């Protein structure tokens, strides 16, 4: 475990009860007004702003003894940000369990990915958000942006997307794709790839978004419409994993053809490798792959 002093007397969940109540009240209003960024005071945490303090405050205010937590970053439980957050939550929430299995988690806190496996009604997803407001790119004043959001006036954002199309023949937004919730507020869904944006629509699980530095919480309730902004003649498209020959790339480890893949250079062989970003999904698929291979070996 971590080398920090765990005997310091912090309350369960590190935050004092007033801080937790404020987060909880804010969250309820966020759920009642889908996609609206509700301001809150956002306490300082021992990790830096930008390292997930918003998502962390949500988890700390919500989690209870006996619950199971999964923390991922870039889809992986072992990525440094996830490791750091998970040890902190373990240290300050005595009585919770942690897991790498998506299936076992009651609460999942994630940076930059939504798990490949669809979440259930009894699960809760907390996403870490650096920039909560999609209108920042067209209007620097928060004051003015709030009115635009209130009126659902996203014309300047659409013009910006259109300018992209004129220039590049494509909408060039990669991650943080602006998505309209319940026909009103357009959100920044956090830096998840376009691949994951469609999972927000009609999700069985509640999805909460925490921006610690910007001090906002927003939410997409379950069974809620979430539409990425697009034009009739330029539809929304997810990332393309086909190779030069037109074949869909597969994960080198588990053979999966349907997941978001990380692309990197193997530090030992020097060759380009494609592997599932979602490590738990990859483990599950690997078991399936092994089962299939064994079955084939037996049947000849």
Partner 1 sequence: MLKLDPIWQPDSQQKQFRLLLEAMSRPGECYAIATIPEDGSVALSVLATLLDAEVSLADPDDLLRIEDWPMLQAKPELSEQADYILCDGAHPPDFIPKIGTLACPEQSATLLLVVEELGQAINSQSALKMKLTGPGIAASSILSISGLNPEWLSVREDWIDSFPLGVDWILVDKARITALPRTTKVELL
Partner 2 sequence: MGYVAIKGGGQAIEGTKQVFDYLRTRQGDTSVPLDTSTIENQLRLLHSRVISEGGVYHPRLASLAIKQAQGDTLEAAFALRAYRSTQPRLVETPALNTGEMRITRRISSAFKDIPGGQMLGATTDYHLRLMRLELLNESPEQFSEIAKSWFSGIDVDVIPDTFPKVLEGLRAEGLLPEIDQRTRGQVPFDITREPLIFPVSRSAALATMTRAEQGSLLAMAYSNMRGYGDVHPTVAELRVGYLPVLLPHPITGDLTEIGEVEVTECEVIAMYESNEANDKPTFTLGYGVCFGHNEVKAISMAILDRALQKGMKDGPTNPSEDPEFVLLHVDGIDSMGFCSHYKMPHYVTFQSDMDRLRKTQQKQDVKEPVV
What does 239 bind: partner 2, partner 1, none (CB cut-off 5 to 8 Å by kind)?
Answer: partner 2
Unique residue bearing structure tokens 């007397």: 9
Site string for partner 2, 79-118 (x = CB under 8 A): xxxxxx-xx--x------xxxx-----------xx-----
- Look at residues 291, 292, 290, 279 and name the one whose alpha carbon lies nearest to residue 116: 279
Residue ranges binding partner 1 (CB under 8 A): 11-13, 17-18, 20-22, 24-34, 36, 38-39, 62-65, 143, 146-147, 150-151, 182, 184-185, 202, 206, 221-225
- Does 149 bind partner 2 (CB under 8 A)? Our answer is no
For the four alpha carbons of 157, 163, 165 and 168, in that order, the dihedral sign comes to: negative
Residues 216-255 that bind partner 2 (CB under 8 A): 239-240
Task: State which residue, 45 or 126, has the beta carbon closest to partner 2.
Answer: 45
- Tell me the closest approach of the beta carbon of residue 136 to partner 1, in angstroms: 16
For the four alpha carbons of 6, 15, 71 and 211, in that order, the dihedral sign comes to: negative
Dump strand ranges (E) for 4-56.
38-39
For the four alpha carbons of 6, 8, 10 and 15, in that order, the dihedral sign comes to: negative
Beta bridge partners of 97: 68
Residues 165-224 that bind partner 2 (CB under 8 A): 168-170, 172-176, 191-195, 213, 215
Site string for partner 2, 268-297 (x = CB under 8 A): ---------x--------------------
Q: Which stretch binds partner 2 (CB under 8 A): 152-160, 227-235, 247-255, 260-268?
A: 260-268
Burial 7-27 (b: 16+ CB within 10 A, else e): eeeeebbbbeeebbebbeebb
Binder among 5, 7, 122, 140 for partner 2 (CB under 8 A): 140
Helices (H) and strands (E) in the chain, counts: 7, 12
């Amino acid at each position: 475990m971590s080398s920090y002093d765990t005997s310091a007397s912090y309350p369960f969940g590190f935050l004092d009860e007033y801080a937790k109540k404020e987060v909880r009240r804010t969250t309820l209003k966020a759920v009642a007004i889908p996609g609206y960024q509700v301001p809150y005071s956002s306490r300082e945490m021992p990790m830096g702003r930008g390292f997930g303090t918003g998502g962390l405050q949500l988890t700390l205010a919500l989690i209870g003894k006996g619950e199971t937590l999964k923390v991922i970053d870039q889809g992986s439980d072992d990525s440094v940000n996830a490791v750091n957050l998970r040890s902190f939550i373990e240290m300050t929430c005595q009585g919770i369990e942690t897991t790498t299995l998506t299936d076992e988690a009651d609460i999942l806190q994630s940076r930059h990915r939504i798990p490949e496996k669809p979440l259930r009604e009894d699960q809760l997803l907390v996403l870490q958000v650096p920039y909560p407001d999609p209108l920042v790119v067209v209007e620097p004043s928060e004051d003015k942006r709030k009115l635009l959001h209130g009126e659902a006036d996203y014309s300047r954002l659409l013009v910006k997307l259109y300018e992209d199309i004129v220039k590049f023949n494509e909408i060039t937004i990669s991650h943080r794709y602006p998505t309209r919730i319940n026909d009103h507020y357009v959100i920044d869904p956090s830096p998840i790839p376009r691949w994951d944006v469609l999972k927000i629509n009609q999700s069985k699980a509640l999805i909460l978004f925490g921006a610690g530095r910007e001090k906002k919480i927003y939410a997409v309730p379950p069974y809620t419409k979430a539409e990425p902004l697009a034009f009739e003649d330029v539809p929304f498209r997810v990332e393309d994993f086909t190779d030069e020959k037109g074949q869909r790339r597969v994960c080198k480890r588990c053979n999966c053809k349907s997941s978001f893949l990380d692309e990197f250079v193997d530090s030992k062989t020097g060759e380009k490798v494609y592997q599932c970003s979602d490590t738990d999904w990859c483990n599950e698929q690997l078991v399936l792959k092994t089962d299939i291979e064994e079955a084939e070996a037996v049947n000849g």
